[in-house]
A and B are shown apart, each in its own frame.
Chain A
């Protein structure tokens, strides 16, 4: 065989095996076959090169080599004899028959190689097994000793299968243990959870008698009427509305109403009584309309049984509205006298809660706190535990009964949580209330006070009204505007009709300002009210001057334009002569004691004087961004995109350049060429890395070719297509390990430690416990 053929074959085999491709390049394979046809020597050569590639510790190389071998195997008898002669080695290298020689990484490719090898061996056995004894022997060996299942898709050997089985068994055992533990756990905590659930339910029933779990579950099918009302909110027949009677003009009253309405779910009668007593306390409140009162009460309760009453109430309400319309036209005084109502116009504030709403009061405080505790317990302890069990059961495929039980538990727990959420218990007030209750003990009208500040009731003129109380007094927050509309405030100017209920009913917020204003005007009609007095006063006295807001708007504008300068001496003595500017006390002697006191004299310094009167204002000018680029040609063919003003840190002074990045001016071009020449001279020709490597290989002496080669662009990979085995090893951990467990580092650390130790030893050697060490 000629030498070129030989070389070409080795080259081809190497190229094919180091391509890293899962399939062979058919052109190259064809070339190999063509050369192999020439003589048996060629086949010998190919065989040896393939075998040497098969011995490489890289699964991709082996895979490709095996593919070459299998292509040639079917073509050439000579190759078959050669390969079958060395069949043990082939099997060791491709099927992993020797457990001490595992297939090399990458794992994925190794698995592929093995399954391919097994499949190929089987097909070889089918077609050539008769003729080649060793092939048949190898096949039987794989089949009977290694127990390779040729039908198995994964082509696992018996050892692997056993390992897999063992793993499975172990997992099963673990799962079993876990299931047992979980079921025991469940058994133990089942009564606990049950108790919690029952407690929760009872608490909820206490808070809201008709509210139970079933109610929530069946919301879709047969909702209680109270809930339908909640679901479709804004109609004026809404039962849970409250009448806002503008008796004292304070929002506190309204809030109180709302609160009490929400509270009285438990004990309505009691609440009612309380309410009545409240009303009675305020003598001026005209809470005489019993009918209306009744109606309000009726609406406040969200019970199914009171549905009829609700409807009744709503109809009454409608009637009432009509009444109001009529009343408007009547003379107010007459109205007041006749009806005994303070206001002749009503406005209704509808407070619509999106769902149920439970506000905590003193009465249900204990219950609510229990609910909170239970809620927390369920959320943090029971539910996660149950979820964990379910996970364990589903993963390990435990008994259905257990799983169902756990699921039931979870469902009921979740239902309880859901229900709790629907209750909308107000916790914030609770915290406040708790504090309050502890401070002032138990009072009869406690609910009044939590929304009011304790102020002495005042009638008559209050010359100074604090800003924060203005709203309460029915005054607008800013006096400047409050003074202005005074003349408009005539009885004729009273607002026409109260806004329709439906418009206001959409919010549960306190009455709007317009409402308040209206109420204010109403109140002014009432001679017993403080507002009326105030109006009188306002009419009689001129408005008080307000010094703070006296400055005109023009001066404000000027101030905005003026520059802000730091405060200095010049500003301090603005428009005056500075008393001792530029004067310095000059003492003839620096000494403290040996000199007469009179000797001190003042010297005027012109510069200092000027300094104290002048002011530096630095003017840097405005910033203009750089618009040009460096545009020096880079190695990759691009132009440098840096935008420096004068000088690029990489390419020096920025000079005008043409399209290709060459300097436009002749002298720049010359300079650049010169620089390049100099640079080239620094790296002489003989330091060419390849040449040096060749010389080193020939002479066996180290000329430092690695250094030269590496300095430029790092290490060149020999086979760029193969997957890098070292890459996986190059993790942050390994890099750190390399640093931390470096020999020198270890030594250094050890030195430091021993030094510290010895110092201690020196210091405390007279103490026995250190001396001993």
Chain B
């Protein structure tokens, strides 16, 4: 750390270097911190989390009870102990609340005045944050598993929606209507994701074990279908051609630069794909427990030198090195299955929500100073000495008493 600082002072290093090194260190020291709590509002499992990109201050959470909560993550109290307070809630008492489990929540990428939520009650609602009323409601024929707004789109404001129907719906916020349908999947679409690099590129994952990459400007078909065997026919039976997993694919995530795509499936595997070519990079992450029948929200770190993947794995969150597939650590803290996790890129904090109704904040541990430890030891030693003195005194007193009695 000091070395990095001096190098930075001397101007030897790129500013990015220090930043990367420090953020990597912080990610590696992520711990469940007793100083950081998140209000317990949800009475049921938490399905989705999203931290807004504008300020990095507000976090949305959608629960299985249909409740949507907005938290304030910023600690202005000046004390290390902080409980993330609830800013506002779309509770069960609200007239507009989702009837069933909220599956996905997402902030509008450019403004916290709007967010979008989709639910198993077959609707997707576009909310006004100020009034907490839906500005628009899209209704579908089946349960909505997932939706996504492009984080970088300038030329369009499309929401991709994956429902029980194999057709992917594209809803336009400008017109408030469903303008487009992408056909190609054969089962429900569990996850949809826009590329953070090209605004027209969309990846979708489906229960038919296929992952398709689309260019929404071309309606005729998908650009790519990811193949786990990279087209080697010998390894695949005829049916397994062009499948990404040997099971339902329920998780999708682009890396921060959009060059790679991560998928998880119910075959307990996670795969890393080159998003440009659709090639399986064959990174072996080992077994990634995944029993979810719904969408799994996982995330990738941002701004570290080797990037990390945070993926829910049973009741814990596994941290892998992205390119080597090495399991860095398991973050154990939840008491039931974890469904979603979200990385805060500014503070290198991780928020995870699970079926045990908890949202846990994983905060980097500050490096403890050595001086303090020493002083602690000194105090301890002193105490011991004092104790011994006291005992001796007591003994003497009792002896004296006895003598007096005689």
Contact = CB atoms under 8 A, between A and B. Distances in A.
Contacts of A91: 335
Given A145-B356, A145-B357, A138 B332 contact: no
A614 interface: no
B221 interface: no
Contacts of A133: 32-34, 333
B336 A145 contact: yes
Given A88-B315, A144-B357, A145-B357, A134 B336 contact: no
Nearest to A138: B335
A141 B360 contact: no
B295 to A, nearest CB: 22
B358 interface: yes
Contacts of A145: 335-336, 355-357
B358 A86 contact: no
B34 A85 contact: no
B40 A141 contact: no
Contact of B332 (A85, A132, A136, A140): A85
A109 B34 CA distance: 35
Contacts of B315: 88
Nearest to B360: A137
Interface residues of B, number: 15
A130 B35 CA distance: 10
A97 B357 contact: no
A137 B359 CA distance: 10
B336 A137 contact: no
Interface string B313-335: 00100000000000000001111
B336 A141 contact: yes
A3 interface: no
Interface residues of A, number: 17
A588 interface: no
A736 interface: no
Interface in B21-65: 32-34, 40
B127 to A, nearest CB: 27
Nearest to A133: B34
Given A85-B332, A88-B332, A145-B336, A134 B357 contact: no
Q: Is the interface of A mostly helix, strand, loop or mixed?
A: helix
Given A140-B40, A141-B356, A145-B357, A86 B335 contact: no
Interface string A235-278: 00000000000000000000000000000000000000000000
B332 A131 contact: no
Contacts of A85: 332
Contacts of A140: 40, 358
A97 B33 CA distance: 24
A86 B358 CA distance: 17
A59 to B, nearest CB: 22
Nearest to A129: B34
B53 to A, nearest CB: 28
Contacts of A131: 34
Given A144-B357, A145-B357, A88 B34 contact: no
A238 B90 CA distance: 100
A144 B354 CA distance: 14
Contacts of B355: 145
Interface in A67-106: 85-86, 88, 91, 97
Interface in A115-147: 130-134, 136-138, 140-141, 144-145
A86 B34 contact: no
A145 B333 CA distance: 15
A88 B357 CA distance: 15
Contacts of A138: 335
Nearest to B31: A133
A141 B32 contact: no
A563 B328 CA distance: 109
Contacts of A132: 34
Nearest to B34: A133
Interface in A356-409: none
Nearest to B315: A88
Contacts of B335: 88, 91, 97, 137-138, 141, 145
Interface string A135-161: 011101100110000000000000000
Nearest to A145: B356
Contacts of A88: 315, 332, 334-335
A86 B356 contact: no
B383 to A, nearest CB: 16
Contacts of B357: 144-145
A137 B358 contact: yes
A134 B32 contact: yes
Residue of B33, B332, B335 with most chain A CB atoms under a 10 A cut-off: B335
A91 B332 CA distance: 14
Contacts of B40: 140, 144
B379 to A, nearest CB: 16
A299 to B, nearest CB: 92
Contacts of B333: 133-134, 137
Contacts of A134: 32, 332-333
Contacts of A144: 40, 357
A148 to B, nearest CB: 12
A86 B360 CA distance: 16
Interface in B339-358: 355-358
Contacts of A137: 32, 333, 335, 358, 360
Interface string B108-144: 0000000000000000000000000000000000000
B67 to A, nearest CB: 15
Contact of B358 (A97, A130, A141): A141
A281 B40 CA distance: 114
B332 A86 contact: yes
Interface string A484-507: 000000000000000000000000
A97 B333 CA distance: 15
Nearest to A146: B335
Contacts of A86: 332
Contacts of A130: 34
A58 to B, nearest CB: 25
Contacts of B358: 137, 140-141
Contacts of B32: 133-134, 137
A137 B33 CA distance: 12
Contacts of B334: 88
Nearest to B35: A133
A90 to B, nearest CB: 11
A646 to B, nearest CB: 77
B364 to A, nearest CB: 15
A228 B336 CA distance: 84
Contacts of B33: 133
B366 to A, nearest CB: 16
A80 to B, nearest CB: 13
Residue of A85, A88, A97, A140 with most chain B CB atoms under a 10 A cut-off: A88
A145 B337 CA distance: 12
B394 to A, nearest CB: 24
A724 B335 CA distance: 33
Residue of A86, A131, A137, A144 with most chain B CB atoms under a 10 A cut-off: A137
A125 to B, nearest CB: 13
Nearest to B32: A133
A137 B336 CA distance: 11
Nearest to B358: A137
Contacts of B336: 141, 145
Interface in B346-384: 355-358, 360
A88 B33 CA distance: 17
The 3 tightest CB contacts between A and B, nearest first, are A141-B335, A133-B34, A141-B356
Interface of A: 85-86, 88, 91, 97, 130-134, 136-138, 140-141, 144-145
Interface of B: 32-34, 40, 315, 332-336, 355-358, 360
9 contacts: A130-B34, A133-B34, A134-B332, A137-B333, A137-B335, A140-B40, A140-B358, A145-B335, A145-B356
Given A88-B334, A131-B34, A141-B356, 6 more contacts: A91-B335, A97-B335, A133-B34, A133-B333, A138-B335, A145-B336
